[in-house]
C-alpha cells in the first residue's frame, strides 16, 4: 500500500521528461526522510535550511538535491548516526531499500551522510525511464553544520506527506541571509544560488543582517574582519559580483533543476537582469 502512495505522489507531479521524473522521485524521498526525522528528536537540535527547504516549505519553483541543516546552537559532539537509525525501517515501509553511508570526519564541523537507493525505480511505474532503459536511482546528501553562525531565526512548518509531521526550519529572512552569504562567499559559482536570488528579490523578503554578519565573519573573504553588514553593504558587494560573471555559463547549472516550461527563461539571464533584481532590493524601505 505504501508503494502506491509514492506512485500517486509521483503522478501528481505530471512530469514531462525523464529528468523531471527523477527529480520528483528525489523530492518525494526527501519528504519521507524529513517526516521520519520529525518523528524522532532531530528537530530539537537542528533547523532545516537550503534550497530543498525553500522549495518544500516556501514555494521555490526549482528542484534541489540535498538536505541541509544547521544546529540551533554549536555542538562539537553532535553526530548524525543516532538520528539516521530510524530511516532504514521508515523508508522500507514505502518500498525503498536504502543504504546509508556515513561520511562523518572527526576534524570537520560539517556532519555528512549519503542516502542511496537503486530499487525504488524498479517497482514504480515510470513514464519516461524508457528513454535510457535504466531505473531511477536516488542519491541524497544530508549535511549538518555543527558550528553555525549565530542569529538565525526559526519557524515550525508541517508536512502532510507521507504523514503529518513537524519540521523546524530557518525563517525566510535567515534563509535569505544565508543565500546572500553563499552568493558572495561560496568558493565556486552555483547558478542555483542566483535562481534563488531572483525568487527572494521578487518575494520582498527581509534579510536577517545579524545572521549574515555572523556568517561573513565566520567564513569567506571577510573572515575575522569584523564586517558589519547592512543593505548598502549587500547591494555594493552583490553588484560587484553580478558584473563579473559569465551569465550564460551560470545559467547552465540551473537547467537540470527546473521544469521544461521554464527553460526558455534561462536565455534571459544577463548582467542587466540581475542588476534589475538588485535594484528591487535596494529600493525597499
Average pLDDT across the chain, whole number: 92
Q: Give percent of the chain with pLDDT exceeding 90.
A: 79
Residue 130 has pLDDT above 60, yes or no: no
pTM of the model: 0.92
Q: What pLDDT is stored for residue 136 in this prediction?
A: 63
Residue 30 has pLDDT above 60, yes or no: yes
Residue 39 near residue 86 (C-beta atoms within 8 A): yes
Residue 170 has pLDDT above 90, yes or no: yes
- In the chain, where are the structural domains located? 1-170, 172-285
Q: What pLDDT is stored for residue 2 in this prediction?
A: 82
Q: Which CATH number fits domain 1-170: 3.10.450.620, 3.40.50.300, 3.90.1150.10, 3.40.50.2300?
A: 3.10.450.620
Q: What pLDDT is stored for residue 132 in this prediction?
A: 54
Residue 1 has pLDDT above 80, yes or no: no
Residue 131 has pLDDT above 60, yes or no: no
Q: What pLDDT is stored for residue 121 in this prediction?
A: 61
- The set of cell numbers assigned to 211 is 545572521
> Which range, of 88-92, 149-153, 245-249, averages the lowest pLDDT?
88-92
Q: What is the CA radius of gyration of the chain?
A: 19
pLDDT band at 3 (very low <50, low <70, confident <90, very high): confident
CA-wise closest residue to 131 among 242, 259, 20: 20
The DSSP annotation for 74-110 comes to: --TT--SHHHHHHHHHHHHTTT---EEEE---TT-SE
Q: Averaged over 122-126, what is the pLDDT?
A: 66
Amino acid at each position: 500500500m505504501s508503494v502506491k502512495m509514492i506512485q500517486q505522489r509521483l503522478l501528481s507531479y505530471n512530469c514531462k521528461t525523464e529528468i523531471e521524473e527523477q527529480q520528483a522521485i528525489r523530492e518525494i524521498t526527501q519528504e519521507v526522510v524529513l517526516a521520519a526525522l520529525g518523528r524522532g528528536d532531530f528537530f530539537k537540535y537542528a533547523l532545516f535550511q537550503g534550497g530543498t527547504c525553500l522549495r518544500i516549505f516556501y514555494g521555490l519553483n526549482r528542484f534541489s538535491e540535498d538536505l541541509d541543516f544547521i544546529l540551533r546552537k554549536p555542538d562539537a559532539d553532535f553526530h548524525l548516526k543516532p538520528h539516521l537509525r530510524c530511516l532504514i525501517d521508515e523508508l522500507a515501509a514505502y518500498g525503498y531499500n536504502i543504504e546509508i553511508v556515513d561520511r562523518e570526519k572527526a576534524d570537520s564541523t560539517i556532519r555528512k551522510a549519503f542516502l542511496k537507493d537503486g530499487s525504488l525505480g524498479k517497482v514504480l511505474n515510470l513514464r519516461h525511464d524508457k528513454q535510457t532503459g535504466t531505473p531511477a536511482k536516488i542519491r541524497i546528501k544530508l549535511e549538518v553544520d555543527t558550528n553555525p553562525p549565530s542569529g538565525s531565526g526559526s519557524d515550525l512548518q508541517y508536512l502532510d506527506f507521507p504523514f503529518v509531521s513537524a519540521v523546524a526550519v530557518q525563517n525566510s529572512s535567515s534563509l535569505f541571509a544565508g543565500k546572500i552569504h553563499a552568493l558572495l562567499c561560496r568558493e565556486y559559482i552555483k547558478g542555483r544560488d542566483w535562481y534563488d536570488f531572483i525568487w527572494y528579490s521578487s518575494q520582498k523578503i527581509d534579510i536577517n543582517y545579524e545572521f549574515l554578519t555572523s556568517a561573513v565573519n565566520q567564513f569567506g573573504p571577510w573572515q575575522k574582519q569584523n564586517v558589519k553588514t547592512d543593505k548598502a553593504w549587500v547591494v555594493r558587494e552583490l553588484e560587484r559580483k553580478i558584473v563579473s560573471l559569465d551569465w550564460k555559463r551560470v545559467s547552465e547549472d540551473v537547467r537540470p533543476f527546473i521544469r521544461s516550461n521554464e527553460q526558455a527563461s534561462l536565455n534571459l539571464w544577463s548582467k542587466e537582469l540581475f542588476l534589475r533584481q538588485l535594484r528591487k532590493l535596494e529600493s525597499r524601505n
